[in-house]
Chains A and B, each alone.
Chain A
């Protein structure tokens, strides 16, 4: 599942496109991409700790194979795919734990507890994690539906539906003010 050069420009803070002839060191790559990835995953998860854990795992996975990854055409795309892959696993595990536990799970959602001054937070709080993921991938990161579908492991029609529902909810909340 390839990613457009447009995405690479959006995903990185500096918008630098790294190719084999311009392979960055791992530290430089981390420096450039860690903050954007962390922020996007915060939007998806609504939880700083979880977002940092996902970000760390994604970078660790790349670090272990950095000699190969630094020379691929699109290491940023690879990074995001790995991060969403990890997020899917964590979501699945969380769902399993929720079903197994009778007690309420104390999971902190950055968007759930905010006062109603911030419409964006209220909008995000009204979305499901899957809708947030679809919105972040398509709206913020600029993936096409088939590309986002590949990362989320669903059909592109599902991504379109999730993003459309998410956008409608966000717009509704944003227009309420």
Chain B
């Protein structure tokens, strides 16, 4: 054992877990579950009310026409394990995506571009790693710098929807798989508002600006 490692290990041994650590952990689990249930209840209520209004409007013939999303998933209704990258995406493309979804340029700047920990110079590629039920999001810029993004577990809800969670926020995505390409759209995100409320903006920027292509099939980005 190197001296440095020995000193670090010795230092760490001065940190002791509080008593009844297991009980404290389950208490936290129960608290988080209550919060999730509450958030899910509110969401269900909102959807119920919205559905009722929509149904009522449709009956009167004045309702909006639902969007026609592509939902073909010829891979058996799941996203195959692997690493996926979008083609290089410019700032203008991301801004246009967010504007199309009703967000402002300022929101795009403050909630997507500014929090990036890597410089956004020419373009950015969004990355997605699907592995053993885990979902990791990453990004890299034209200088080759990488940023670690969100990560959590996910499960397939039905052949067109997946739900990813990190025990705080739970995000539901619509997806379609066609060959090597995975297209995603953010349906909704639930969880404590402080953590999850404004996350829909970066989520939209990341997942809806371009489709994801399996790494082996992704063309090399321009220099």
Give A contacts to B, CB under 8 Å.
27, 30-31, 34-35, 38-40, 42-43, 48, 51-53, 55-57, 59-61, 63, 65, 85-86, 88-89, 92-93, 95-96, 99, 118, 120-121, 124, 135-136, 139-140, 152-155, 158, 167, 170-171, 174
Whether the Cβ atoms of B15 and A42 lie closer than 8 Å is yes
Q: A39-B13, A92-B115, A140-B5 are in contact. Are A65 and B153 (CB under 8 A)?
A: yes
Q: When the two chains form their complex, are residues A38 and B15 in contact, meaning their CB atoms are under 8 A apart?
A: yes
Decide if A88 touches B148 in the complex (CB within 8 Å): yes
Taking a contact as CB atoms under 8 Å apart, the answer to whether B146 and A34 are in contact is no
| Of the residues B28, B32, B136, B152, contact of A153 by C-beta under 8 Å | B136
**Contact residue among B4, B24, B136, B151 (Cβ-Cβ distance under 8 Å from A56):** B24
Known: A56-B29, A140-B5. 18 other contacts (CB 8 A): A27-B22, A31-B22, A42-B12, A43-B12, A52-B24, A56-B25, A57-B28, A57-B168, A85-B151, A89-B166, A93-B195, A118-B11, A120-B8, A120-B10, A139-B4, A140-B9, A153-B138, A174-B4
Q: Which residues of A contact B148 (CB under 8 A)?
A: 88, 152-154
Most buried by B among A55, A85, A93, A174: A85
Interface size class of B (residues with CB under 8 A): 35 or more
Contacts A35-B16, A60-B32, A86-B166 known; A155 to B146 CB distance under 8 Å? Answer: yes
Q: Within the complex, which residue of A34, A118, A140 is in contact with B17, where a contact is CB–CB below 8 Å?
A: A34
- The one of B5, B114, B138, B195 that contacts A99, using a Cβ cutoff of 8 Å: B114
Kindly identify, within residues 6 to 49 of chain B, every residue whose CB is under 8 Å from any CB belonging to chain A: 7-13, 15-18, 21-22, 24-25, 28-29, 32
Question: Which B residues are CB-close (under 8 A) to A167?
Answer: 4
Q: Is B216 in the interface zone, CB < 8 Å from A?
A: no
* Nearest-Cβ distance from residue B73 to partner chain A, whole angstroms: 24
Contacts from B to A (Cβ < 8 Å): 2, 4-5, 7-13, 15-18, 21-22, 24-25, 28-29, 32, 114-115, 117, 133, 136, 138, 144, 146-153, 166-168, 195
Give Cα A121 to B7, complex, Å.
10
Instruction: Using CB atoms, name the residue of chain B closest to A89.
Output: B166
Of B32, B144, B166, the contact of A85 (CB 8 Å cutoff): B166
How distant is the Cα of A13 from the Cα of B83 in the complex, in angstroms? 34
Closest CB-CB distance, A118 to chain B, in whole Å? 8
In order of increasing CB-CB distance, the 8 nearest A-B pairs are A153-B148, A39-B12, A42-B15, A56-B25, A85-B151, A120-B11, A60-B29, A39-B15
